[in-house]
Structures are given as structure tokens and as C-alpha cells.
Amino acid sequence: MQAFVKPKHDYFWLAVAGILPLLLCLVFTFLEARNSLIHQQKTTASTLIDQAEHVSQLAWEMTSRLRQFNNRQCADIRSQLQRYGTLYPYFRSVGLTHGDEIYCSSAFGSTRATLDTMLRGRLPGHHLPSWMLSLPGTFGVKDRPAVVYSQATPDGFSSYAVVEGQYLIDFMTAIGLKHGYHITMQFGGGYRIASGKPLSSYEELLGTSTYTTSSDRYAITVSLTTPRSEALHSWLQVLFTFLPMAIILSLLFMMVTNSWLKRKSSFRDDIRRGIDRDEFTVNYQPVYNQVTGCLSGAEALLRWQRPNGSWVRPDIFITAAEDEGMIIPLTRHLLQLVAKDCVNWQVPPGFNLGINVAAEHLQDKDFVADIRQFALDVAHLNATITLELTERSLIRDGAEVGRKLTTLRNEGMKVAIDDFGTGHCSLTYLQTFPLDYLKIDKGFVNAIESVDGETPVLDAIIMLADKLALKVVAEGVENAVQMEYLKKHSVMYIQGYYYAKPMDNTALMQWIAQQNAAAEPGL
């Protein structure tokens, strides 16, 4: 038995089914890791802002407390300032100024200096009633950042508090160490106090990520940068959590897809192998002319018997062939089988040989050539070929198909609609294509219950055919009542078990010989 080989596009769909869950897992986990990273940054930045606001609140409270010493001699308040600067946390020094001159501080006592000298630069905004500013250092401690808070009174005095920047650096370092954050904190638009290793900026998907936020209470801005290694670690952590599930889904999708492809491709490949192995044969069902009382022709019906002896129903394998792109090769095979069968046929003059053609074949560029070749192969019969249009598939380019059928009719062929009334485009066919016969589906014939009864739908179809000058063929006639009813309603052609069952090539010739022996030949 020939080994089953998957078509290349089947492997494509299997690959898609396997890769899709994994790809979705990559995308989902990346987005989840990114959202988690942003949430983590926001939480950390919020904590930093809260701490900076807390320190700032203490500093402003200190400047307010110091205002009680305005206009007092430094000798009287020096010890108190030193106590404030020593006992209260976070402060490097506190002091008082008059105008731009520091006249008393916890760090230098009564040593006088300008505010610009202590802050090591002329600072915009120090003339305002209150201001805060982060600095890279002060006069007394040049290598460590600080934050200065100042409040002035209308009489020219002001108080200030200098927060030790190391407190902020230590806090930023502690909170950002786990994730490798680079953090900066800026007060009043001044110097950016930083902790953590400066990071190079990368714009890739897993590059560095910076989040910046500001306080709603004070002029404090915090910026937090996450290293690319943390982004990668966060993504891998989420990925390895969901990857087992994605792998299971991938295998499940591949199993389902493989099962679907097997069902889909089994018929396609089996049909192809069946053609190669001559598993298909043709049966012929005679058509009776009620006017002449003789054989009018026969319809070629394709049959398929598997090597194990089982038969595949025509409606199953023909539908599968149409769905899976095998109907044209199958129809060509039918034409070859019929041509081979009828090499030695002896049939009455004017014999009609019916061949079913599908929409896909009608729309194929080689359709006319295929039919012409078949006509040459059976030319010795002097038979009339009738092309029976089936309605299982919609004919898209009706105008072009109409031209093809007109060409073939001009060459002596006939056109019929098969199983009229069961498809979705029967009336469209009547309007679009040049027709000769209308074949009534057996479902309408089965509705006949008595010779004098009524079958409204069947009667309407017969009337429609008469209006269009089409000859009618009734399919599926199984008893004398149906036969008589159809004859009464002027249906000329009968096809069904009551007249003759489908039979193979040899049996058909024997049956025709018997009919000729029993009656005068002729139509």
C-alpha cells in the first residue's frame, strides 16, 4: 500500500498550530512583564515621593519653628540652634539670615557669610518668601548633596534648614538596590540627587525603561530608570510561569489540527490514489422517452469501490472532491472512463449521453478543451452529449460560463440543469445560461401520491419549464403512479428505478440488446 505523504501545506498548518500558542505566550508574557515593571516603578516612585514629602514637611516645620528667633542676638540663640541641628533627624544645619547675610547657624555659630557663599552659588528664587532647592554640596560639606529650605518674614529676616542629602541617597539606594534602579530626586528644579549606577539608554523592546513622577504637595520630582537586565529578568520570570501551559496548548492545537488535516486530506489523497489505481468505475442509468416509448439515452454516474470492497457514497466523495480541489481531476477521469467504456457500444441514433459537470470545472480555462476532446473520443457513437450542471457550488463568472456553453451548444451539445430546485442558484441558472433540459429532483417526484392528485411545487416547475421551452426529465421515478402522473402532465423523459437501475458498461449493452429484441427500435 502506498505510504501516506502529507502535502506541504499540511505541514504549514501544523507549524502554525504549534507556533501560534508559543508566539501568543511570548507576546502575552512580554506585555505582562512590561505592565508588571511599570507597576513596580510606580510603586517604588510613590514610596520615594512619600519619603521626600515627609522630609520636606519636617524641614518646613523646622523653618517655621526657627522664626521665633528672628531679630535676636546669635549669642542668645546659638545653643538652641545647635540643639535643633543635632537632635532632629535629617538636618545638616539650621540657621537665620537677615537680608542675604547668614548671621547665626547651628554649624558656624555667629560666623557671618552671605547665603550665596554657603550655597556655593547665586541661586535664583532665594529672594522669594519661601523656596526649596537641591544642591550638589554646601560650603561646609562640598562633596555631598543637600536640600535647602528657606522661609522669609516681611521684616527681612528668614530661617533656613539644610537637609543632609546622604539620608535621601541611602533611602534611594536601599529601595532601588534589589532591582538595580538608577534613581534621581530633584527639589525645586535644582540639582538631581542620584543613587545607583548610571544606565545607558536602550530603546529596544527589552531596553531601559524610565518613569518620572512629581509630588502633588511640593516641587519634588523623582525619576526612576530600570536596567535592561531587570526587564529581561521580569519577562523571563513571567515567561517560565506560562510557558508550560503554552507548550501544552501548542501540542493540543497540533493534535487537533492534525486530526482535522487527516479528515480533510484523507479524501483528497485517497481520491488521487483511487484515480491512479483505477478504483473508480462508471454506471449508466437509462432515460426513457414517454412519447416514443423507447430508450432516449443514459446518464453517466461515477462510482468508487475501495480496495477492501466497500463503496463510498457519491454524495460524500463528490462533495469532498469539490471542497478539496479534486473535482476537476475527478471529472476528467470520468470522461476518460466513459470514453474507454463506449469504444464498442452499439446505441440507437440520437442517443443522449449525460455527463455531470461542476461549477469549478465550468470556470476552468481548459473546460471547453476537455469537453471537445471527450466529444472526439466518443464521436463514433453519433451520440448527443448533454452537459448536466450541478448546483452544489456557485458559478461566479456566469457571463463567461454562458459563452462557453453557447460555444459547445453550437457544436451540437445540449445543456441541462441537474436536480433542479435543490441548489441555491437554479433560477439564476435559468436566466444566465443557454439550456435545453430541466431535470426535476426526485424529492419533488416522491411527492406524487396519486395520478389525479396535486403537487403544487412539481406542477409549478413543469409549468416554468414549459414557459421557457425546456424539455423536462423527471428523476427518481419508482412506481407506475408517478410514471402516469408525469405522462399526464406532459413530462417527456423519465429516469428512475421503475424504468431501469444504474448499471455498468457490460450490463448496459446487454440491457439495450434485450430492449431492442423486445420492441421495435427507434425514438
**Whole-number Å distance between alpha carbons of 233 and 513:** 88
Please give the pLDDT value at position 413.
95
Q: What angle do CA 333, 337, 338 make, to 5 degrees?
A: 120
Range with the lowest mean pLDDT among 14-23, 75-84, 135-144, 178-187?
Answer: 14-23
Percentage of the residues of the chain whose pLDDT score is greater than 90: 49
Q: Is the pTM of this model over 0.85?
A: no
Residue range 206-219: mean pLDDT, rounded: 87
pLDDT at 82 > cutoff 50? yes
Residue range 118-123: mean pLDDT, rounded: 71
Q: Is 174 left (phi over 0), alpha (psi -120 to 50) or beta?
A: alpha
Kindly report the average pLDDT of the chain as a whole number. 87
**Whole-number Å distance between alpha carbons of 339 and 341:** 6
Rounded (10°) CA dihedral 346, 348, 350, 352: -70
Q: Which three cell numbers stand for residue 445?
A: 417526484
Residue range 230-247: mean pLDDT, rounded: 82
Confidence of residue 174 (pLDDT cuts 50, 70, 90): very high
* Model confidence pLDDT, tens digit, residues 501-523: 999 999 999 999 888 877 654 43
* Model confidence pLDDT, tens digit, residues 481-501: 999 999 999 999 999 999 999
pLDDT at 2 > cutoff 60? no
Q: In what order do the strands lie in the sheet containing 113-114?
A: 113-114, 101-105, 91-98, 157-164, 146-152, 130-135
Residue ranges and CATH numbers for the domains of the chain are 37-256 (3.30.450.20), 281-515 (3.20.20.450)
* Higher pLDDT among residues 459 and 236, named by residue: 459
Q: Which three cell numbers stand for residue 125?
A: 528664587
Please give the pLDDT value at position 233.
79
In angstroms, the Cα distances linking 291 to 407, 436, 491, 518 are: 30, 17, 9, 18
Using the structure block, give the residue that is written with the C-alpha cell 508574557.
Answer: 29
Please give the pLDDT value at position 207.
63
* Higher pLDDT among residues 114 and 414, named by residue: 414
* Higher pLDDT among residues 453 and 505, named by residue: 505
Q: Considering only CA atoms, which of 296, 429, 312, 301 is closest in space to residue 355? A: 301
pLDDT at 270 > cutoff 50? yes
Q: Which three cell numbers stand for residue 417?
A: 440543469
Please give the pLDDT value at position 505.
93
Confidence of residue 368 (pLDDT cuts 50, 70, 90): very high
Is the Cβ–Cβ distance between 464 and 421 less than 8 Å? no
Burial of 346 (0-12, 13-18, 19+ CB in 10 A): exposed
Counting DSSP H helices and E strands in the chain, the numbers are: 15, 19
Q: Which three cell numbers stand for residue 241?
A: 510561569
Confidence of residue 303 (pLDDT cuts 50, 70, 90): very high
Residue range 373-380: mean pLDDT, rounded: 95
Please give the pLDDT value at position 519.
65
| DSSP SS3 for 177 | coil
| DSSP SS3 for 7 | coil
Percentage of the residues of the chain whose pLDDT score is greater than 70: 91
Q: Which three cell numbers stand for residue 304?
A: 468508487
Instruction: Return all residues near 376 (Cβ < 8 A) that are at least 6 apart.
Output: none
Residue range 53-65: mean pLDDT, rounded: 95
Please give the pLDDT value at position 42.
93
| Cα 154 to chain centroid, rounded | 71
* Model confidence pLDDT, tens digit, residues 392-450: 666 777 788 889 999 999 999 999 988 887 765 567 778 788 899 999 989 899 999 89
Residue range 340-369: mean pLDDT, rounded: 92
pLDDT at 25 > cutoff 80? yes
pLDDT at 360 > cutoff 60? yes
- Top mean-pLDDT range of 218-232, 278-292, 387-401: 278-292
Confidence of residue 101 (pLDDT cuts 50, 70, 90): confident
**Whole-number Å distance between alpha carbons of 6 and 4:** 7
Confidence of residue 257 (pLDDT cuts 50, 70, 90): confident
Q: Which amino acid is at 25?
A: C
Residue range 107-134: mean pLDDT, rounded: 78
Confidence of residue 1 (pLDDT cuts 50, 70, 90): very low
Neighbours of 212 (CB within 10 A): 13
